[in-house]
Structure 1
Amino acid sequence: MTRLYYTLLLLLTAAATFGQHRPVQASIDSTKIRIGSQFHLILKATANKGEKISFPEGKNFGQLEVLEAFPTDTIEKDAMYELVKKYGLTQFDSGRYEIPKLPVIINNKTYQTNPLTIEVNNIVVDTLKQKMYDIKPVMGATSRSWLWLYIVLGILFWGVVGYYIYKYRQKRRLEPKEIPADNTTPIERVRISLTRLEQEKLLQKGEVKEYYSGLVDIARAYLEETLHIPAMESTTSQLIAAMHEAAARKKMGLDETVYEELEKVLRNADMAKFALSRPSDNVVMQDRERIEQAINVIDKSLPEEVEEREPTEEEKARMLALAQKKKKRQRTVIIAASCFLLVLGTGAYIGITKGFDYLKDNILGHPTKELLDSEWVKSEYGVPGITIETPKVLKRADISKYVTKEAAKNISQMQMFQYGSLFDNFHIAVATTVFKQKVDINLETAFDATEKSWEAQGASTILVKMEGFKTEHGTEGLRAFGTMFLPDPITKERKKVSYEIIYFKQDQGVQQVIILHEDGDKYAKKIADRIKDSIEFKEKKKK
């Protein structure tokens, strides 16, 4: 009776478990694919009629790329609906990948799908028998169009025109304000100009710089007309010095306070115009009063009859020097602007017609492109020898820092030749090791030692894939490749690096070729491919 009771209990538990149907299920139509092939992920969600179901969206599910999301199919089952969503996925690197748990929302409640695993296999190619070559680039036809010349000339023309328009507007802005008829006196013209300046309401508009420019121009124009000094072209220091000379010459007897007040206003104006300083409204109004008071004092101090006179030789020389300096500065600016526009136009034409990468690589320079275009050398390194073609001759390296004292006891001979270092744009190393006795060499263990050496030098996130190969004579080899992050020796920022190591095992030794370069560098990849195509392992002759 007891056995019958437990049997019934188990059957009821199984029935209850079976009845607890998962509302969301995930499946795939294949568990193994080749690189780049598409497989399908199918999500099924069961819900009552009227319930809202939302399936996941995105360009990637984990490390798998979503190529296509198909329309949702609906299947009616009694009072329930079954919605089926299909996705086309792929991956372009070999390995085992997991489709993570994906969220499916049913009436604002989130359900997670079961994770799935897909295996992506490489297409097997014997690279020792069949070399791999890149697809040749599209060859562009030579253009005989003169369009580039018109573009450059147009840029130069409008650049020069724009420069002269700018200089003309600057000159007009610096010219004194409109002066009334000749029958007015200089002090009357100052008062009229000040009134017009206030009518422009520049301070109310927040244009303090323009207000100071107008205020100082009125004062400079008055001083140039009455004292016969080059006030418009002089700096603040030069202007005050010229006023002292003119006042002494005319015996005006001006108090030193007049010079100080005027210089204070000129300094404030310089700060507002060139240092982008914005004084308060009280300071601006005080400067306006200082200007007016200084001009009134100067006007009252002027002799009643001012004789017209020719400028002195010193004044003529100063004015001529200022004019020549200005002309020379304008000529220098025009030449510099023209050269800049010519370079800019040429660079723009090259960038438009051939692309920015061409401009950067061929005009500005690219270290690995220069390495690729250099004169390559073919040499044999180590014993047993490795014949390899490289853009630079490999130099013998000190191997003592790579081998521990314990490991050195079992090594009969070890040699390493390299170019560059682990942190350079491109690094290649060729190493040969011969053991004293015949040993069972595990090539994967050899990579573990290399990985630890890289980690000791700061490498992190080392991802590796391995694939074995055999030569036509049956000698075993291993290709280890992947990416890692290395710290930049200058900026200390992490940069992504691609690496590849080819191991070749013989009875009492190992030969290896190590290649590293910055990830995504197309020229470095071409160098690496050319080096790999040239590798010839010299096998030890069997006795």
Structure 2
Amino acid sequence: MSRQRVVLSLISFLLSFISFSQVTTEVDTTKIRIGEQINYKIKVEADSTVLVVFPEGQTFTPLEAVEALKIDTTKKDSKFKLSRIYKLTQFDSGSYTIPRQKIIIGEKPFYTDSLRVDVGTVEVDTTKQKLYDIKPIIEVEKSSSNWWIWLLVILAALALIGFLLWWFVWREKPLTEEEEIALLPPYDRAKLALKKLDNSQYLIRSEVKEYYSELTMIIRKYLDEKVYERSLESTTDELINRLQLLKEGNQFPFSKETLHNLETILKRADLVKFAKSAPDTALIEMDRATIEKEIESVKAVLPEPTEEEKLLDQQYKEAQERKKKRTKVIITVASLVLLLVATYVGFGLKYGFKYVNDTILRDESKELLEGEWIKSAYGYPPVYIETPEVLKRVQDTLSDESKDKIKQRVFVFDDAEHLDIKIITDEVDGGEQGQEDIQRRVVQSIEKIIEEWETKNVQNIITKDDQFITPNNVEGSKTHGTADFPIKGSDETFEGEYAIFSFATKEGMIAHVTLVWAKEDSYAVDIAERIMNSIEMKSDEQANAEQESQN
């Protein structure tokens, strides 16, 4: 009787445990089209004192977990009813099996049943649906920056330089009194000079020498321009003899009175200047009137200019205008060149001439370094990294046999001459693996990368292995060294450095970050350093902690 009671008690206990720990699953559909999502729901009924752990990460391979919603908890009596929805999808058509999922209740694992899902292509009825060409790639406007401030500063500087050149070089400036007088004909200039002499204070201050110097200079200038071009430097006798010869040669029909008056006044002026003679005021005024009279007499005997002389005079004026304009152009160009040289030297002294030269020549590596960087996550397990440009996803190179077991994602940046970035993530179907197997696969992956380089004519590869810890304290390995890498589109090579950062999870998922940069390119070195400092992974503990914080 007692034995039967023990058996009944044991059966009752087991039935009670089973009733308190039940795991069921449900899906909203088992047939989807490419890209559509399945709501995969796991429901657990357990005692309120028991800890329940749901699946985390990509455990639904070959389907991809897009999102895991928060755990929904309801309480009934002493039981907890927990449920969690996973949104799954697949981008390739075919029939797939969702593997059994492990749920830990207390310390005991429970497994769900596997589930078959059919993913079909999207059928298009071309008789009803029009087909259109692929739309061209469009540029996406980058986030706003302070470039417009620099643009305003440059425009303001150019406007200031243009204003200064216009004001001091190209502007039509008002003529000074001397310039206006210089534009007058010789006769008008002589008459104007006599009026100024009348208004002078020479005679009032008894400055007879200065008065006669001005008076004779007026007649000499007039004769120099209209009669004899050496009148200014000739002595009185030389000038009178030349005028006499011109009269005798019938070039200028001067009267005897004109020649006599000019000789008399010029000799009297010589006596005043060199012998300190002092004529009285009446004689001085008479000499002034005589000079004005003889200017009129000379003007009267001057021949009219011929058409050829007028043409030559016009050509001379045009040549002078061209010369003036050419001078302005030379001054403008010289000013701009001087400004550019001064700006170049100034920036060169402050920032270094190499930096200035690379800025002017738009060095590719420098533009990448100083451009707008992008931080993003790539592949699974996700690799968080900051790069000058978004990495492009490319087709993996796995064989058909490997594709059944490994899901590989490859992202690259290879648009620069001296910089290559590549991220490879491998997700292996088969659950947890031994640490030795994982480490062996990591080593094989690194060897495969180096072998691929050798097939692409990378030479003199030197390799060194070190430990690497990300800024968020995730441990990985670093394979680095130097090699001679071929320049794209050329038979030449450049001396480069490389680094391969490798990470692995307990589930056997592997990620590689490969960097290659030119050793002599200082900008590429800075880019590589910045990228290496930005690499982050999430350890299993960090991922679980993040998930628990979300719950």
- With structure 2 as the length reference, what TM-score do the two structures score? 0.37
Greater gyration radius? 2
